Amino acid sequence: MLTRTLYGALLFLFICRPGTISSQSADISPWAFRGYVKNLQQWQFNSVPNSLVSGGFFHNRLMLKYTPDSLWTFDVELRNRLFYGEWVRVQPGFAEGLDNDNGLIDLAFVPVDKPALVASVLADRLWAQWARGRWQVRAGRQRINWGKTLTWNPNDWFNAWNFLDFDYEERPGSDALRVQYQTGGFSEFDLAISPARHIRNAVAALRYGGHFGRIDWQGLAGVYRNRLAAGLGWAADVGQAGLKGEISVFQPIDSTAGVTSVSATAEVNMLFGGSWFCSGGLLINSNGIGGRANLFQLAQINLTADNLMPGKLSFLASVSHPFTPLLQGALSAVYSPNGQLIILIPTVAWSVANNWDIDLTGQLFWLENNAGNVANLGNGIFLRVRWSF
């Protein structure tokens, strides 16, 4: 019911929204309204004949921000999607998964649930912020980004994300209270508390970020889902290369919380020839699968800061290059020795106009099959068109 009310209020404000500049003065309006509409068409297939499954979805995002004065800011953002096609029909429980909001407050609902047509509405941002001097306090559903690296983030304790979900640029949010204090000299304290419906799933942590010479670093300590946790992150430039890394250690408070686990990543990136951006990295996941992984495990993995990939060890290499100011290409490759998992992700992006974009993305998967051979077992092709306003 709350999401329906927010959705109706946001649509009303969009229809009746004030102009960005007052007609009576040159003062900027306290209201800021943005958004976009996307269509993503996808085709999924494997090596089995007649395995092609198609479908897609329309994705509309509405973002409303209100800043009445220099102290207060209010933000609400809705993620509205309409899924269609055989791709929806062949996934049992598809609508139920979209209607499951893991936050403290359920801000998701599914107004349409048909065999090949499902509509979903999710309020993934809903926060109020007070800021004065060196202090900033924000409460509500928000993105708490403590990650340093580009792909895997063991320090992202509050809202881990799946790098294969490329269509979710904003990334998930958490229901949390966050207090930040700038100490000066580019250092800060950051306290965040994210309660949960079950206390064992709550997260609370203190972060300190600062500089040591040319190294930008951070230290984390807190409680992560019934485990004591500590983390360290860093970023530095060495010559022409950028080096980044993160590590988190999770120690169970009691025997029911599992065993001690470590999640760590290191990454290096460099710009060649002024336009070729290359990046490489690795992820160590002590919670990973020691044996052969499969596509089902990859698709169903419950992504958390201590479990970012199915395998114990994963490698990533990527390169991107702008062929023209409006046309860019990229290629990423992921390899995990567990099950000989290989993922190739080619992308071509074209900026058609100031607020129109088109991109074509592939996700190609190879795995070791039951015969011990590495075979192509699944692929996805995604064509996306976006209009921003």
What is the per-residue pLDDT across 301-319, written as a single tens digit (0 to 9) for each? Answer: 678 999 999 889 999 999 9
> Which one has a higher pLDDT value, 187 or 299?
187
Burial class (CB in 10 A: 0-12, 13-18, 19+), 176: buried
Give me the pLDDT at residue 388, please: 97
Does the pLDDT at position 164 exceed 60?
A: yes
- The closest of 44, 39, 41, 43 to 61, measured between CA atoms, is 39
Rounded-to-integer distance, Cα 205 and Cα 18, Å: 40
The answer to whether the beta carbons of residues 193 and 157 sit under 8 Å apart is no
Q: Read off the pLDDT band of 193 (50, 70, 90).
A: very high
Share of the chain above pLDDT 70, in %: 90
Average pLDDT of the chain is 90
Give me the pLDDT at residue 300, please: 56
Give me the pLDDT at residue 324, please: 96
- Residue 310 tokens read as 């199915």
The answer to whether the beta carbons of residues 216 and 235 sit under 8 Å apart is yes
Give me the pLDDT at residue 213, please: 87
Region 73-98 average pLDDT: 94
Does the pLDDT at position 363 exceed 50?
A: yes
Give me the pLDDT at residue 289, please: 80
Residue type, 327: L
Strands 241-252 and 261-272: antiparallel
What is the per-residue pLDDT across 310-343, written as a single tens digit (0 to 9) for each? Answer: 889 999 999 999 999 999 999 999 999 988 899 9
Give me the pLDDT at residue 303, please: 84
Region 190-214 average pLDDT: 94
Most trustworthy range by pLDDT among 8-12, 130-134, 169-173: 130-134
What is the per-residue pLDDT across 249-304, written as a single tens digit (0 to 9) for each? Answer: 999 998 776 789 999 999 999 999 889 999 999 999 998 886 665 555 565 567 89
The answer to whether the beta carbons of residues 126 and 81 sit under 8 Å apart is no
Give me the pLDDT at residue 26, please: 47
Does the pLDDT at position 27 exceed 90?
A: no
Question: 50 — alpha (psi -120 to 50), left (phi > 0) or beta?
Answer: left
Give me the pLDDT at residue 292, please: 63
Share of the chain above pLDDT 90, in %: 72
Give me the pLDDT at residue 354, please: 92
Task: Give the residue carrying structure tokens 């998992």.
Answer: 341
Backbone angles phi, psi at 293, to 5 degrees: -90, 170
Burial class (CB in 10 A: 0-12, 13-18, 19+), 324: exposed
Give me the pLDDT at residue 21, please: 40
Give me the pLDDT at residue 181, please: 98
Q: Kindly report the three-state secondary structure assignment for every residue of the chain.
A: CHHHHHHHHHHHHHHCCCCCECCCCCCECCEEEEEEEEEEEEEEECCCCCCCEEEEEEEEEEEEEECCCCCEEEEEEEEEEEEECHHHHCCCCHHHHHCCCCCCCCCEEEEEEECCEEEEEEEEEEEEEEEECCEEEEEEEECCCCCCCCCCCCCCCCCCCCCCCCCCCCCCCEEEEEEEEEEECCEEEEEEEECCCCHHHCEEEEEEEEEECCEEEEEEEEEECCEEEEEEEEEEEECCEEEEEEEEEEEECCHHHCCCEEEEEEEEEEEECCCEEEEEEEEEECCCECCCCCHHHHHHCCCECCECCCECEEEEEEEEEEEECCEEEEEEEEEECCCCEEEEEEEEEEEEECCEEEEEEEEEEEEECCCCCEEEEEEEEEEEEEEEC
